[in-house]
Structure 1
Amino acid sequence: MLTGECICALQSGERGTIKPKANFNAEQDAAALKKALEGLGTNEKIVIEILTTRSSAQRQLICKAYEKATSRTLVKDLKGDTSGNFEDLLVALVTPPAEYDCHEVMRAMKGAGTKDKVLIEIFASRSNQQIKDLSDIYFKETKKQLTAALESEVSGDYSKALLLLALGKRDESTTVDVNKAREDAKTLYNAGEKKWGTDESKFIEILCKKSIPHLRQTVIEYKNISGKTLQQSIEGEMSGDLENLLVAVVKCVKSVPGYFAELLHESMKGAGTDESTLNRIMVSRSEIDLLDIRAEFKKLYKHSLFNTSSDFEV
């Protein structure tokens, strides 16, 4: 269980790999980027050095200073001077976190079919405030409610669960009543393992609305009652996107860093790398808990996230 000290550390960004730079000067950084991007060829070393060693808030100040100095946006110049996955990574770095999450959700809903893996990753792992912030950006850019847009893209019980998460109204209480957690564990057991067929609504209601500390205790109580983990029961009772979403929620309840370590492993194994997932996790978690993700990755896969082998290219 997260202690108060750990929660404060996460909120203050102490578990991130990127910290605000001391003696920061936005105008100097903007001038250096201008020089690196102008002329024949791009000085990629300078661009990387600046954008990966400043906090997101500092990068926004650089963007303002850059536009003031050049009458152009840094995003536009980065897109003009770079390409492919490198361009995507740099653009992600200079995009405010809520805007970046919003654009990832928009891309996931764009065109034929929905990239449900992206929607599941974002809505299962983000806090209420992060979800509200991305929803506000979505409305500002599209004049539409995010939940209405999602409702037109997904259906069934998966839609019900995703929309509950997208409201950003999960209970935020930090106190845990063990008896209530045990009651919810029994409700889940009776709705799944104990009956013929599954009452998905009970799983959705509890897993998508109750507080994270409460659910952490519920997971423990469930194992005591059923002899199985809650994840095992969900995987045995459900299928498709609903199963994937609820399993992601349970994994995040147990350990958000552990969840992202698994996703990074998945993105890099086998032939080719899922660069979009790799970029999204590394950028979005760089000031939150990437140190913990690195530690979980090492614990789960016995080698460093930095290592390169025949199976991994980080």
Structure 2
Amino acid sequence: MSVWDDLDLLLDSPSSLTAKPTTSGTIKEKPGFKASEDAAALQKAIEGIGTTEKTLIEILTQRSNAQRQLISKAYQEATGRALVDDLKGDTSGDFEDALVALVTHPAQLDCQEFIKATKGAGTTDSALIELFAAKSNRQIKSMSEAYLADTGRELSHDLKSEVSSDYGKTLLILVEGKRDESTNVDAAKAKADAKALYEAGEKKWGTDESKFIDVLCHRSVPQLRQTMVEYKSISGKTLQESIESEMSGKLEELLVAIVKCVKSVPAYLAERLYKSMKGLGTTESTLTRIIVGRSEVDLLDIRAEYTKLFGCSLYSAIESDVGGSYGDCLKMICGADD
């Protein structure tokens, strides 16, 4: 049985889609922090002969994002230059990307990831799906506000020109960030939704995708979890299995991601990390986005799920997959070897 089929534990477990920011991050505020001292140490590390990568890693991975914003401000005041520009000028490749991500505000980072996923020829759908399926209403709203401030345009407007069909329609609903956030569960409604989904999919010839889209994008997490339990008792299959057998392509990938995130965002992201390191080559952009982006949200939970799902620690997976300063940086953010 796959980890995604175990519905028994579901109803009582917390959810990062609706929970307030938690203490499950690996990076915390550093006590006794002095922005000017850190800025001076970074300046010395950057301006000396050769860059002292170790200092950059030690400072930037051991301060909270709010503290890193203050360091950037102090650095600009002391040198007249933007810290992010000096990091770009002094480091390169994946290590540069990780450091730049660390000194970027979280909503701004999401906004940049969205731009990266949609610019150029073709759209990076897997990154788009992860960006919107794994985010709470609050995070989506912050990303949209950062995008508007940055580009002068509505994020939903620019997304609309990139995506189409039911897949596009689903993403655009998620981008509205209007998932119901109540914690009350209406058992009768869960039964009715489960029945409607069964009749829209397994039970009929052809699938009524709009029913799946409506229920999965709008209901609260506790409500959807109850619906999934009801669905399994009606159809004998999990909702995920039905989506996988009834749909295909990007819509299937997106709806499965939503179902997985309703169950457990940390488990979904652990799986994304595993896939980014499995096989030939590593998808460094995914590694950096998740490890930096979730470092103050739920990286401890992601680590625990990673060990549970794949039988080895996230730390050891990073260690065997990426080296150099980039690997050292990710391992420092990851924290302990579970």
Same fold (TM over 0.5): yes
Which of the pair has the greater relative contact order for Cα pairs under 8 Å at 6+ separation?
Answer: 2
Which of 36, 55, 70 pairs up with 1:46? Answer: 55
- Counterpart for residue 331 of structure 2: none
- Counterpart for residue 150 of structure 2: 141
Q: Deviations 1:277-300 (Å, cap 9, x if unpaired)?
A: 000000111111111111111011
* Structure 2 unmatched ranges of 5 or more: 1-9, 328-338
- Counterpart for residue 333 of structure 2: none
Q: Deviations 1:189-248 (Å, cap 9, x if unpaired)?
A: 110000000000000001011111111111111111111011110011111111000000
Which of 26, 38, 50 pairs up with 1:29? Answer: 38
- Counterpart for residue 232 of structure 1: 241
- Counterpart for residue 86 of structure 1: 95
Asked whether the 8 Å contact 2:16–2:264 carries over to 1, the reply is: no
Asked whether the 8 Å contact 2:15–2:265 carries over to 1, the reply is: no
Which of 248, 264, 274 pairs up with 2:283? Answer: 274
Asked whether the 8 Å contact 2:207–2:246 carries over to 1, the reply is: yes
Aligned residues: 314
* Structure 1 unmatched ranges of 5 or more: none
- Counterpart for residue 156 of structure 1: 165
Which of 66, 89, 93 pairs up with 1:57? Answer: 66
Quick check: 1:114 aligned with 2:104? no
Q: Distance in 1 between matches of 2:80 and 2:319?
A: 45
TM-score by length of 1: 0.96
Q: Secondary structure at the match of 1:182?
A: helix
Quick check: 1:293 aligned with 2:283? no
Quick check: 1:242 aligned with 2:251? yes
Offset of residue 178 of structure 1: 1.4
Q: Distance in 2 between matches of 1:204 and 1:64?
A: 44
Q: Secondary structure at the match of 2:20?
A: helix
Identical aligned residues as a percent: 63
Which of 24, 41, 47 pairs up with 1:15? Answer: 24
Query: Which residue identity lines up with residue 132 of structure 2 in the other structure?
Result: F
- Counterpart for residue 68 of structure 1: 77
Offset of residue 183 of structure 1: 1.0
Offset of residue 54 of structure 1: 0.4
- Counterpart for residue 269 of structure 2: 260
Asked whether the 8 Å contact 1:269–1:311 carries over to 2, the reply is: no
Offset of residue 42 of structure 1: 0.4
Asked whether the 8 Å contact 2:17–2:221 carries over to 1, the reply is: no
Asked whether the 8 Å contact 2:107–2:146 carries over to 1, the reply is: yes
Q: Distance in 2 between matches of 1:17 and 1:310?
A: 17
Q: Distance in 1 between matches of 2:180 and 2:305?
A: 27
* Structure 1 residues 112 and 214: CA distance shift in structure 2, 3 A: same
Which of 96, 100, 104 pairs up with 1:95? Answer: 104
- Counterpart for residue 216 of structure 2: 207
Q: Deviations 1:93-135 (Å, cap 9, x if unpaired)?
A: 0000000000000111101100011110010011111111111
Q: Deviations 1:75-98 (Å, cap 9, x if unpaired)?
A: 000000000000000000000000
- Counterpart for residue 186 of structure 2: 177
* Structure 1 residues 141 and 2: CA distance shift in structure 2, 3 A: farther
Question: Alpha carbon RMSD of aligned pairs, Å?
Answer: 1.9
* Structure 1 residues 126 and 291: CA distance shift in structure 2, 3 A: same
- Counterpart for residue 176 of structure 2: 167
Asked whether the 8 Å contact 1:99–1:134 carries over to 2, the reply is: yes
Asked whether the 8 Å contact 1:270–1:311 carries over to 2, the reply is: no
